[in-house]
Amino acid sequence: MPWPGAVPLVEASVSLAFPDLVLLVITFTSALVAVRILWNLASTRHRAAYGRPVKLVFLIGAVLGAVLPWDANFGLAGALAAALLLLLLASAYSLLGWRTAKSRSLALIWIPRETMRDLFLYLSVGAGVVGVVTTLISLAVIPLLNITLNSFVPLAFDTISILSALLEFTVYVPSYSNIYALVYDFITHTRRMALESGEPYLDDLDFKQIRQRSHYTDFEIRDAMESLVRKGFASKLSPVPVARIVFKVGPYGVRYLKSVWEEVFFSMEREKAQLESRMLYLREKFRLSPEPDRELERRAKDELAGFRRTLEELGSYGVLMTGTGREKLADELAELEEMVEGPKGKAEGELGAGRAPTGGESRSKA
């Protein structure tokens, strides 16, 4: 006799209803597509990096999915363990990144963003495979064994899979090229060398100066430097006086940063030239049009919004773009906006100014 509150292993059922049949077809088709994608990843690089771990996770998920649905309590306990693992990963990523910036004893510990993204991916794939297999088994046993398994087990694993996938998407891994260029610009201007090795170095107190005028954070600067360490271009030391951690850039690291700086600098100059050319074209278009029509004004406003976004994106270059260059582009864009929207705005302003005294007079008369 089952104890009170226990989840029953099976529930009476005699046939496979039409909604269950549709769900079976959709789940089976999705499973085939997912297996095809995971087993045959697009490129050689992806196969080398993710092929073996994903296949292992897929195999473990398939085995668990074949075992867990037969006992609802055991299956829900497995789902709870997966949920706790997801919570642990999310907490470790968020809290450890903050603690390493505050604690000198934890300064050497760092979890790369790529690693966290991959862990969320593996958990999402594993939980998704368990959810698919348990769903297929739950639907298949209806006509075969004339029973219905509890539906909470596949539902729980599907939920965990979706949450893991969402967390994977939230782990933003920016391109390190601009950050490397900012680091090279910093070490060439400061010219600080370690006494024992003669290598340029920087510490966590320098992050604020490196990211000056850019939209990067100290967290992203640290993550980029950790990437340099993993590549063998730099080394790190902690604890040190005052600072939490010091990064020393080796000779090959300096040459690598210089090559990245040159590439980023040329890209920045190209983007600036393209923006200036587009603004000049729009300015000449308005200057040569005696009475711009509504279609031209509408397109011009869309272009202005694009110019503004491009100018904001150029902020990722930080101190690489001189203040005068940034101010020049901003001034040219402001003049162009006044040219496109100025006549209409001026007319509306004059009309509003003409109405204001009338409203005031009417209120005073009242």
Residue 366 lies in a domain: no
The residues pairing with 246 across neighbouring beta strands, listed in sequence order, are 203, 237
- Which residues constitute the domain of residue 76? 10-170
Does residue 211 have a pLDDT over 80?
yes
Which residues are CB-contacts of 84 (< 8 A; sequence separation ≥ 6)? none
Asked whether the beta carbons of 67 and 129 are under 8 A apart, the reply is no
Q: Are residues 235 and 102 in the same domain?
A: no
150 and 106, same domain (yes or no): yes
Q: How confident is the model at residue 292 (pLDDT cuts 50, 70, 90)?
A: low
Asked if the structure places residue 245 within a domain, the reply is yes
Q: How far is CA 43 from CA 38, 52, 55, 56, 175, in A?
A: 12, 14, 16, 19, 20
Domain boundary among 131, 146, 170: 170
How confident is the model at residue 45, as a pLDDT?
64
Q: Does one domain contain both 162 and 185?
A: no
Express as a percent the part of the chain with pLDDT over 90: 2
pLDDT per residue over 261-285, tens digit each?
A: 988 888 888 888 888 888 888 888 7
Give which of 234, 209, 214, 215 is closest to 224, Cα–Cα. 234
The pLDDT of residue 353 is 41
pLDDT at res. 365: 41
Mean pLDDT of 336-362: 51
pLDDT score for 351: 39
Region of poorest pLDDT, from 70-79, 240-249, 267-276, 336-345:
336-345
**CA-closest candidate to residue 263, choices 184, 181, 318:** 181
Same domain membership, residue 134 and residue 39: yes
User: Between the ranges 37-46, 59-68, 262-271, where is the mean pLDDT highest?
Assistant: 262-271
In a domain, 207, yes or no: yes
Residue 60 and residue 166 share a domain: yes
Question: Where is average pLDDT lowest: 137-146, 174-183, 247-256?
Answer: 137-146
Q: What is the pLDDT of residue 256?
A: 92
- List the one residue out of 59, 62, 54, 79 whose CA is nearest residue 154: 79
| Residue 57 and residue 124 share a domain | yes
The torsion angle over the Cα atoms of residues 55, 88, 162 and 130, rounded to 10 degrees, is 50
- Of residues 117 and 347, more confidently modeled: 117
Summarised one tens digit per residue, pLDDT across range 104-117 is 555 667 777 888 88
Counted domains in the chain:
3
pLDDT at res. 275:
84
